[in-house]
Amino acid sequence: MSDTDFFDADEKAFIDGFLEKGYAIVPLQERERLDAVRARMYERAMKQLGPSGAKRPSLDAFFDHTERFVPVAKLNDFRLGVIEGLNKDALLRPALFKMARRHIEWAIGSEIAMQRTVNLSIQLPKDKSSLLPLHSDVWSGNSPYELVLWTPLVDCFKTKSMYVLERPESETIFREFSKYKEFDAEKLYRQIKPKLVWLTVPYGHAVLFTHSLLHGNRVNEEKTTRWTFNVRLKGLLTPYGVKEMGESFLPITVRPATRIGFEAVTLKK
């Protein structure tokens, strides 16, 4: 499809790996940006919790053991309050993008559209209320050209992380889908469980994955809380799905040739 001689060796190795599996776990650049995001998140969370009279937990204690400070019944309101505040922070999206930029550009290209809002997921240990059953986002009309950037604020492993079904296995399921059409998500999960890969993502790393892969999460059976951001990215000029340009996506890195071309075409009309 392309002449791979045009890629550098490390870029080519990344591309081959991504094509093979449908995802990559990448180290973040400028780690201090992540520490700063985490600190701002902590301040936002403390504000959201209000004056409790109790001593403020340390940053690590708060992120690891959020269940000690936020009851499950209040978790969703708490989460929405925190992320609404953070989405007003003009630094969040650029920080998430820049930390993973090298690999985003290797996977997508240099002209990017990014989802307008960043989503936050908080999974308390043993909490059954914030689960994401097995799915592919393409089933709900999202563009297969989109990738998800999944950035944890804590170490993620085993059930505190997410799982994927790698590309060849996901594609086998799609090809044989008529076999599974009577299955609900749980039954399909049990069927493919032995082939699922649970992603080990230490703090300071992120996952880039195509949401066409089958993926999801389960009850967090580990002892600490999961905090993760997710945001979608795609090539600016690739086809859009139910999440449209302007509505869900905004251009973030437009090059002059595209801008001049777009303006020339628009002027002609």
Residues of the shown chain interacting with Fe ion in the complex, contacts defined by CB under 5 A:
137, 211
Are 107 and 18 in contact by the 8 Å Cβ rule? The answer is: yes
At closest approach, how far in Å is the CB of 42 from Fe ion? 27
179-199 as b/e: b if 16+ CB within 10 A: eeeeeeeeebbeebeeebbbb
Query: Cβ 135 to Fe ion, closest distance in Å?
Result: 6
Instruction: Supply the minimum distance, in Å, between the C-beta of residue 137 and Fe ion.
Output: 4
**Closest to Fe ion by CB, 224 or 230:** 230
Nearest of 118, 129, 121, 131 to residue 71 by alpha carbon: 129
CB closer to Fe ion out of 177 and 262: 177
Residue 102 CB, nearest distance to Fe ion (Å)? 24
Q: Where are any strands of DSSP class E within the chain?
A: 23-27, 112-115, 119-123, 147-152, 163-165, 197-198, 205-210, 214-216, 226-235, 249-251
- Nearest residue to Fe ion by CB is 137
In the complex with Fe ion, the residue whose CB is nearer, 211 or 243, is 211
44 or 232, CB closer to Fe ion?
Answer: 232
